[in-house]
Amino acid sequence: MPGVGGRPLGFGGDDAMSGAEALPFYYDNARNPRAVLASLATYYTPGNLLGYTDSTATFKFFNLSDPYSKIMLRNAQGIVTAAFVNPAPDNSRVLVAYNTSSATQTFEVVWSSQSFTYTLPALAAATFTWSGTQSAGTPAYTVNAKSQIQASSFTSTAGNNTPGNYQTWGLETELTTDTDGGYDVGFASDGNFAVYKNVDFGAGVTSVTARLACQQNPGNCGGTLDFRLDSNTGMLVASMPIPSTGGFQSWQTTQPVTVSGASGVHDLYVVFKAPASGKTALGNVNWFQFN
């Protein structure tokens, strides 16, 4: 069972993945994930990170219709990743992770009921591969609502989808200068939302905090970040004001906002609502956390 640098990883028992080499996951959902992956391979460790030739590689990125999209990364502050499936007949899964932060980061990769943890030093990268069949699960994974959920780890995004107005088609990710680096979510217009599948609220939570940034003029601060269950018009469990922080990369951790009615496992919809001043540039989100 080979691993990074030929070192065995020794997966087994509950963590068993057939032929698993060191492989971290986090698909950032960037609008151009292939470019993110290519930049990891060519910029951070030129030509060596992935071990492929870009001109001949075939990529298959994880998406909602692919059963292998059911991979998640926990405790991933500062970890940027992309994932794909190698073409047949190989069909192995590949995950590339890069620690953008100045500190060592340990994270957990979950593939249905199977998982492993890995630690990356500051500014280090690793490639992980495995093969096998994903075990069944109902749901395939859950996300602890009380963990710090990176906003850029959304499952999907959409908006009001006004024809000809791309700003209403969903959110985008961008590099952040906030602590631990990575990506934030922004370019928000009224009604744009991100979906986080299978969030487990347990017996219930009472509050939520978030890491937000917004610049009034040219932006439109003062709207809300609404937390809804199971659809973008579903049960409203919390509504958080988006403050003016002085810049789209000037970050503030909000005061806790009351949460009501959230328990059990749900798909969480985080919806931007505009203030009276305007419907675009409503602010950025780095992470949120329920308590």
For the chain, what are the domain ranges?
A: 4-139, 149-290
| CATH fold match for the domains 4-139 and 149-290 | no
CB < 8 Å & 24+ apart, contacts of 42-47: 44/98, 44/125, 45/125
Distances (CA, A) of 38 to 5, 7, 82, 140: 21, 25, 10, 29
SS3 of 35, please? helix
The CATH number of the domain covering residues in 4-139: 2.60.40
Name the H helices within the chain. Answer: 33-39
Q: Could you say which of 2.40.30.170, 2.40.50.360, 3.30.1490.20, 2.60.120.260 is the CATH number of the domain covering 149-290?
A: 2.60.120.260
The pLDDT tens digits along the chain (291 residues) read: 222 222 222 222 233 343 333 333 333 333 333 344 444 443 333 333 333 333 333 332 333 333 333 445 444 667 777 776 777 787 787 788 888 788 898 887 777 667 788 898 988 888 888 887 766 656 667 889 998 998 988 888 999 988 888 888 899 988 889 988 878 999 999 999 999 988 999 999 999 999 999 999 999 999 999 999 999 999 999 999 999 999 999 999 999 999 999 999 999 999 999 999 999 999 999 999 999
Residue 123, burial from CB neighbour count under 10 angstroms (0-12, 13-18, 19+): middle
Q: Kindly tell me the burial class for residue 192, based on how many C-beta atoms sit within 10 Å of its own C-beta (0-12, 13-18, 19 or more).
A: buried
CA atoms within 13 A on the CB side of 59: 20
Structure-derived torsion over alpha carbons of residues 112, 21, 124, 94, reported in degrees to the nearest 10: -60
Which pTM value belongs to this model? 0.70
- CA 282 vs CA 155, 212, 215: distances in Å: 21, 11, 9
105's tokens:
């980061």
In this structure, are residues 254 and 117 in contact, taking their beta carbons and an 8 Å threshold? no
